[in-house]
């Protein structure tokens, strides 16, 4: 069983990717289940096999503890950790090959509080990976791209799981713009040139120093452009995950 956490900033396309990739895997004759870990979501573009909203609901937490919506979301993020054993039991009960886990809308609630990394390490001993989404519309200028690079490095630093990086919603960018962002991910020189050409003053210095720090940390990766609307790139996402899980198998 392979477990894949789908993580990204709010609205970056996590839930639709969970929907499109699970359908794609099913068409490829893979046995896959989906898990919704977002207690605050109202509608989902897929029907989860396991749903945290069956364990608790934001409205109940608000009522019970007298909290506003944000306080309740923070509390819910912490409560998820207490449900780890129950989640594990449900997940292992399905005996599926793939488990896609859609994480809460606000990334910081899952990634930067204790619960997300706790679940990621404690939920079964099965091999795990993380898919990090770079929202293509947001990431298509160098300053935002570098900020997202920093966030992805912070997520890596929290989870220490093998990460696959995708440029989500790539259908929303003209192909030449998508290719430019992919080129930044592969080639630090190209990113540095874009920073020099489009940013001035402190913004330029800060972005340049931030990107240099990231590359010095050895965090290098190639963004995979993916669209959950057209299914473009899902095959490449699958190949990247197979490569990660393949290396798990040989190391066992």
Ligand X SMILES: Nc1nc2c(ncn2[C@@H]2O[C@H](COP(=O)(O)OP(=O)(O)OP(=O)(O)O)[C@@H](O)[C@H]2O)c(=O)[nH]1
210 binds ligand X (CB under 6 A): no
Measured between its terminal Cα atoms, the distance across the chain in Å is 14
Q: In what helix (H) or strand (E) does residue 4 lie, and over which residues does it extend?
A: strand 2-8
**From the CB of 36, what's the least distance to ligand X, in Å?**
10
Give min distance, CB of 5 to Mg ion, in A.
Answer: 13
**Residue 171 makes contact with ligand X by CB under 6 A:** yes
Any contact of residue 140 with ligand X (CB under 6 A)? no
Which of 78, 84, 86, 69 minimizes the C-alpha distance to 123?
84
Count of residues that bind ligand X according to CB under 6 A: 17
Q: How far is the CB of 242 from ligand X (least distance, A)?
A: 21
Per CB under 5 A, residues contacting Mg ion are: 14-15
Question: Which residue in 3, 4, 7, 14 binds ligand X (CB under 6 A)?
Answer: 14
Q: Among residues 87 and 109, whose Cβ is nearest to ligand X?
A: 109
Residue closer to Mg ion (CB basis): 14 or 128: 14
Residue 140, both tokens: 């298509």
Question: Residue 158: which of ligand X, Mg ion, none does it interact with, CB under 5 to 8 A by kind?
Answer: none
Question: Considering only residues 74, 81, 172, 190, which one is a binding residue for ligand X as defined by CB under 6 A?
Answer: 172
Q: Which is nearer to Mg ion, 7 or 191 (CB)?
A: 7
The residues near 98 (Cβ < 8 Å, ≥ 6 apart) are 1, 2, 4, 22, 25, 30, 31, 32, 33
Whether the CA torsion 202, 184, 152, 101 is positive or negative: it is positive
Q: Does 11 bind ligand X (CB under 6 A)?
A: yes
Q: Which residues from 66-105 bind ligand X, rule CB under 6 A?
A: 105
Closest residue by Cα to residue 57 from 41, 45, 34, 46 = 41
Is 149 near ligand X (CB under 6 A)?
no
Q: Which two tokens stand for residue 76?
A: 């819910």
According to CB under 6 A, which one of 2, 8, 56, 245 is a site residue for ligand X?
Answer: 8
61 vs 184: CA distance, rounded Å = 43
Q: Is 197 exposed, middle or buried (0-12, 13-18, 19+ CB in 10 A)?
A: exposed
Element (H, E) at 215: helix 201-216
Q: Residues, the chain, total?
A: 252
Footprint of ligand X (CB under 6 A): 8, 10-16, 38, 105, 168-169, 171-172, 227-229
């Amino acid at each position: 069983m392979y477990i894949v956490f789908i993580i990204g900033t709010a609205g970056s396309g996590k839930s639709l990717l969970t929907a499109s990739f699970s359908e794609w895997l099913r068409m490829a004759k893979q046995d896959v289940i989906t898990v919704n870990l977002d207690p605050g979501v109202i509608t989902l573009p897929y029907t989860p096999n396991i749903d945290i909203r069956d364990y608790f609901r934001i409205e109940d937490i608000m009522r019970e503890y007298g909290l506003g919506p944000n306080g309740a979301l923070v509390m819910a993020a912490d409560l998820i950790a207490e449900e780890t054993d129950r989640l594990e039991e449900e997940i292992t009960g399905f005996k599926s090959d793939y488990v896609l886990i859609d994480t809460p809308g606000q990334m910081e609630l899952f990634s930067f509080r204790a619960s997300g990394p706790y679940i990621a390490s404690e939920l079964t001993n099965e091999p795990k990976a993380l898919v990090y989404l770079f929202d293509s519309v947001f990431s298509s200028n160098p300053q935002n791209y570098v900020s997202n690079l920093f966030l992805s490095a912070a997520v890596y630093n929290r989870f220490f799981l093998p990460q696959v990086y995708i440029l989500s919603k790539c259908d929303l960018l003209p192909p030449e713009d998508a290719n430019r962002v992919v080129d930044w991910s592969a080639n630090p020189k190209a990113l540095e040139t874009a920073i020099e050409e489009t940013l001035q003053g402190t913004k330029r210095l800060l972005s340049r120093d931030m990107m240099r720090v990231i590359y010095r940390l050895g965090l290098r990766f190639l963004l995979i452009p993916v669209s959950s609307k057209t299914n473009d790139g899902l095959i490449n996402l699958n190949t990247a995950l197979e490569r990660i899980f393949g290396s798990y198998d040989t190391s066992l």
